[in-house]
A and B are shown apart, each in its own frame.
Chain A
Amino acid sequence: MAVFKQAKFFWSSIVISLVLFAVVQILITGGMLNLFYVNTLVFIAINIMLAVSLHLIIGITGQFSIGHAGFLAVGAYASGIITMKLEMPFISALIIGGIVAAIAGFIIGFPSLRLKGDYLAIATLGFGEIVRILFLNLDYVGGASGMQVNHLTTWPWVFGCMLVAILVIVNFTNSTHGRACISIREDETAADAMGINTTYYKVTAFVIGAFFAGVAGGLYAHNFYIIQPSNFGFLKSFDILIFVVLGGLGSLSGSVIAAILLTVISTFLQDYPETRMIIYSLVLIVVMLYRPQGLMGTKEITSVFSRGQKLKGGKKDGKGQTVA
């Protein structure tokens, strides 16, 4: 019974999400949601995947990476090659896209995670740009003109992948490994002194984050009819970063909420790209000036319901702001 009680919350949230999924699916098959709304929902789910995968790297492990679009690009192109050139099924494309992105994450993460703070940020930014330039120069995937991809992404696929991503990352965070990652975020030197293999955990978090970004890339690629290197510039990385920062560094539900909010806002501002970017940047500046911990801080939305088991926040400075 105790096991069931502990897992009660877990199972009830899965049931709730499956009900949500079923409702949306019924609406779609019933033709009550038009293509625009379905597309927005698919976008929201992809962005949630990206946000939670970056949340694992920045929010949990405290490694400031701003090249996440690079992994998205790797996953998108890898899965595109699988379905279009090798003509294998979509599921294998998603998995292989994720694995290739994870390998890229390992190759990048292993040397660059020795760097800290600003330097790591710039190194990952540079990596993202290198990936973009690489695809720009590869004729096999169409270079600058891009690569034709079939439209295969549907709501069940997106929702399934998103659910798996969230479950894996939540469970990782609450496991021994996740605790180790949080301790690295709090104080790397102290974590090292306590016998935590910091390099191992940093690279692990990076690889898991890259994997889900790669899967999201597969979904992203097959949601359009064409993918181009210009879709994966560092503005895309900033978009993902904004989800995580706005939601609150260290709060998974915060990044999910921010991803939903910002995707909806930017969908409605699609026809006014300049206005959208101005609003984005103003929101970013104002939030950083007046609420640097983001919408949720390090709290989770679930802690509103269960007061007893609050998640402890990060190291605070004098003003109650989380120090990263």
Chain B
Amino acid sequence: MELIQQLVNGISLGSIYALIALGYTMVYGIVKLINFAHGDVFMVGSFVGFYSITVLHLPFLVSLILSMAACAVFGVLIERIAYKPLRNATRIAALITAIGVSLLIEYGFIYVRGAQPEAYPGDVLPEHAIQIFGAKINSQSLLILGVSVALMIILQFIVHKTKIGKAMRAVSFDAEAARLMGINVDRTISATFAIGSALAGAAGVVFGVYYIKIEPLMGVIPGLKAFVAAVLGGIGIIPGAMVGGLLLGVIESLVSAFGYSLWRDGAAFIVLILILIFLPSGLFGKYKREKV
């Protein structure tokens, strides 16, 4: 029964990874940039949620939406200020800028507010234990799963049924051709950053509610792992990020369930290296032959 419980924990954690990974994968799909600052957007979202729950006394759902909106604006700002001038620069220059932006957000945040951690209040969501097959399942983990699934369905709807989603798919397929077809590429890229960052913000609030403790450097490790999840599913592919996130969460909790909890951070990176060596285009990716 321990195992089922760990599986449920893994799925909750995995859905948080999946939400962050979606932002990575969308941004990578459209501008071919590993947005290292994405983990820090997640952190900012978590803090916005924290302050709106404790200071403004807003209910959970309103805080979630507020945090998503704040993160969307934040994401677009990052894109406009730091990444847009580098649109035609080399990949390495863009990657290093992303690292710089990430460090700037982390330490700027610490500089402004201090490095001390905060704790989400425990009574944000009602907590019931539900017994299924003898395993105790926390209602919070079900709610996290529910929020994540709902957001993913909304995302699928946006990407496949709306005009901006169509534009996003077109730009990620071929930015030049999309521009020739009259698509405003810059606006589409900003929209991608906004949506991805909003999802990271939601993940931040959900993370805070579930794991209580938040701190300015909390985004680093989940950010990296979410990137692993995105690579696992095939970077640039939206369903891949969801599956990759869930899979990674389950793998991690299984590693802790078998008593190697100190190794769980390592497990993600070992998965990453194995995937990169044996299946570099990910679970859902197609193998592309290099053209000269």
Interface centre among B95, B106, B262 (most CB of A within 10 A): B95
Q: In whole angstroms, what is the CA distance A323 to B111 when docked?
A: 35
A contact residues around B292 at 8 Å (CB): 189
CB 8 Å contact bits of B279-292 with A (1 = contact, 0 = none) = 01000000000101
The contact of B96 among A114, A275, A288, A321, by CB within 8 Å, is A288
Chief secondary structure at chain B's binding surface: helix
Can you spell out 29 A-B residue pairs with CB atoms less than 8 angstroms apart?
A111-B277, A112-B273, A117-B91, A118-B32, A119-B276, A119-B280, A122-B34, A122-B227, A122-B231, A122-B272, A125-B224, A126-B270, A129-B266, A130-B266, A130-B269, A133-B262, A133-B263, A137-B262, A281-B101, A282-B100, A284-B96, A284-B100, A285-B101, A285-B104, A288-B96, A292-B89, A317-B90, A321-B89, A322-B90
**CB neighbors of B among A308-324 (8 A):** 317, 321-324
B286 CB to closest chain A CB, in angstroms? 15
- Chain A residue nearest to B220 (CB atoms) is A234
Are B269 and A285 closer than 8 Å at their CB atoms? no
Contact in complex: B96, A245 (CB < 8 Å) = yes
Contacts of B88 in A (CB 8 A): 317
Q: Report which of A114, A130, A281, A292 forms a contact with B107, defined as CB distance below 8 A.
A: A281
Docked complex: A276-290 residues within 8 A CB-CB of B? 277-278, 280-282, 284-285, 288-289
State A238–B102 Cα separation when bound (angstroms). Answer: 12
Report chain B residues within 8 Å CB of A321. Answer: 89-90, 93
Asked if B92 contacts A64 (CB within 8 A), the reply is: yes
Partner of B111, one of A111, A118, A136, A278: A278
The interface residues of chain B lying within 8 Å CB-to-CB of A238 are: 99, 103
Q: Which 4 A-B pairs have the closest CB atoms?
A: A284-B100, A126-B269, A281-B103, A277-B107
B143 to chain A, nearest CB (A): 31
Whether B97 is near chain A, meaning CB under 8 Å from some CB there, is: yes
B69 within 8 A of A: no
Q: Is A207 an interface residue (CB 8 A)?
A: no
Using a Cβ–Cβ cut-off of 8 Å, how many residues does chain B contribute to the interface with A?
Answer: 44
Flag whether A181 is at the interface (Cβ < 8 A): no
A45 CB-CB contact with B under 8 Å: no
A281 touches B228 (CB 8 A): no
Interface size on A, residues (CB 8 A): 42
B 143-154 binary contact with A (CB < 8 Å = 1; else 0): 000000000000
**Bound-state Cα–Cα, A308 to B234, Å:** 50
Q: A118-B91, A118-B95 are in contact. Are A278 and B107 (CB under 8 A)?
A: yes
A288 and B89 contact, CB distance less than 8 A = yes
B108 CB within 8 Å of chain A: yes
Q: Which residues of A contact B (CB under 8 A)?
A: 64, 111-112, 114-115, 117-119, 121-123, 125-127, 129-130, 133-134, 136-137, 189, 238, 241, 245, 249, 274-275, 277-278, 280-282, 284-285, 288-289, 292, 317, 321-324
Chain B hits for A130, CB < 8 A: 266, 269-270, 273
CA distance A278 to B104 in the complex (A): 5
- Quote the shortest CB–CB distance from A251 to chain B (angstroms): 14
State A321–B92 Cα separation when bound (angstroms). Answer: 12
Alpha-carbon separation in the docked complex, A75 to B266 (Å): 20
B residues engaging A (CB < 8 A)? 32, 34, 82, 85-86, 88-97, 99-104, 106-108, 110-111, 115, 224, 227-228, 231, 262-263, 265-266, 269-270, 272-273, 276-277, 280, 290, 292
| In contact, A134 and B92 (Cβ under 8 angstroms) | no
Q: Contact at B224–A137, with CB atoms within 8 Å?
A: no
A156 to B198 alpha-carbon distance, docked (Å): 55
Which residues of B sit under 8 angstroms from A136, Cβ to Cβ? 262
With A189-B290, A284-B99, A284-B100 in contact, is A324–B224 under 8 Å at CB? no
Nearest B residue to A275 via CB reads: B111
What 13 new A-B contacts, CB under 8 Å, besides A122-B34, A122-B227, A281-B107? A111-B277, A112-B273, A114-B277, A121-B34, A123-B273, A123-B276, A129-B266, A130-B269, A130-B273, A189-B292, A274-B107, A274-B110, A322-B90
Q: Is the CB of B263 within 8 A of A288?
A: no
| Distance of B38 from chain A, by nearest CB (Å) | 13
- Cα separation A176 to B33 with both chains bound (whole Å): 34
Q: Which residue of B lies closest to A282 (CB)?
A: B104
**A137, chain B: closest CB distance, angstroms:** 5
Min CB distance, B151 to chain A, in Å? 25
The docked-state distance in angstroms from the alpha carbon of A123 to that of B104 is 24
A292 and B99 CA atoms in complex are apart in Å by 14
Task: Report chain A residues within 8 Å CB of B276.
Answer: 112, 115, 119, 122-123
The residue that A288 contacts in the complex, of B86, B108, B228, with Cβ under 8 A, is: B86
B104, A281: Cβ atoms closer than 8 Å: yes
Residue of B nearest to A288 (CB): B97
Q: Report chain B residues within 8 Å CB of A278.
A: 104, 107-108, 111
B277 near A112 with CB under 8 A, answer yes
Give the interface centre of B100, B102, B111 by most chain A CB atoms within 10 Å.
B100
- A136 to B265, alpha carbons, bound, how many Å? 11
- Contact check, A292 vs B95: say whether CB atoms are below 8 A apart: no
Q: Is the CB of B277 within 8 A of A118?
A: no
CA distance A129 to B292 in the complex (A): 34
CA–CA, A323 and B94, complex, Å:
12
Q: Is the pair B266, A284 in contact by a Cβ cutoff of 8 Å?
A: no
